Structure 1
Amino acid sequence: MPTSARTKARREAVRLRMTTIGIIGAGFIGSQVARAAITAGYDVVISNSRGPETLSDLVAELGPKATAATSKEAGAAGDFVVVTVPLKAYEAVPVEELAGKIVIDTNNYYFERDGHIAALDEGKDTVSEMLQRHLPTSRVAKGFNHIKADDITTDGKPAGTPDRRALATSSDFDDASALVEKLYDEIGFDTVNVGPLKDSWRVERDQPAYVIAQTKQELIDNLAKATR
């Protein structure tokens, strides 16, 4: 089987096994990922830090494919999980419920919100590596961190569109990167794989690729321009 055919088959196998997304964090990014995922055919179980009863309006809007839950319940229910909480709260993300699962990390470091973290200020660590250490039995992939929330549901275009927007992912695990790529494609975006989590800083705050609309080649070029 040619490499491209094997890759396509592997991605489809991943997709068939994973139909429910647990979302931990129901803010701007989390709610928009939920909307896009439901449009793509997924079920979502979504949570926030205040309790499922505070998500009744959002769940009513999302419809029958959405359920509100606690963070632990959302983590346990998801075939894979999107973590989209402020960095300062990442240690509250449940560990046991996410064991063995792919976890998409949308986070960015804002010292104004999170307080100064020396290892990040000094370029010795990355946000997603921190989450990976917190979730040692999960497989973390970066995703949705360099796009404005509203663009998640408005900028997607069919595959093959010449000016299709591209988003980046990064992971230490091939299947985690493949899942993000599959999800991006389903909701209308091309993908550029940055490489391992240690290189995920290239698509974070204040870098050329951060929060701008760009094609796949433009994203590749902007990643190359990144300086730490």
Structure 2
Amino acid sequence: MAIRPARANIDPASHEPSIPDEGLVIRDEDWYGKELTDADRYTRYSFLDTDWTEVVNEGAVFDECTFAGVKFNASRHTGAAFTNCTFKRCTFFDTGFTDCKLVGSLFRQCTFTLFEVSGGDWSFVGLPGADLRRAGFDGVRMREVDLTAARLEKATVTGTDLSGAMLHGSNLTGADLRGSDLSSLDPLTVEFKGAMISLEQAATIATTLGWHVG
């Protein structure tokens, strides 16, 4: 059996992550417009109340890091990694992630506006209760992602691997779900009025309800 990757503080009610020594804390810094590359690597750092507005991130690696009160507004991240990280009270306005790896990361009390994700691996990510209305996810690997009670009204979640996803209590009203794996979706536990799906996806959902599709 495959070993499931660890997810940083998977339970939103779990204890706060421990604060590392001061040498690993970046606090109140202005990174406006900063350019990051694959030469930039951070492990178990804490970024506290840092301004990442218009940061251009091309391949930087962050592992087991904590981001609290960080502004990611208008930042662009391409081929970067944020693995087993915790994001708390962060703002993502007009933020884009392209082909990034966020396996095992957790988002708590964050705001997402004009949020776009294209490609990459977001498996085992925790987004319980996240307000992702009108967000865009296209071609993303999101296996076993936690979207419990998440708000996805009019979101675009296309061509995305949601196998094993936790969707209980989520709101998918008016969402575009075409091309995504909906095998884990229980239509009795989600709101999905007006959602767009393909005929193949409709057959999958019907099978979940115990119907025989001929």
TM-score by length of 1: 0.30
Greater share of strand: 2
Greater share of helix: 1
TM-score by length of 2: 0.31
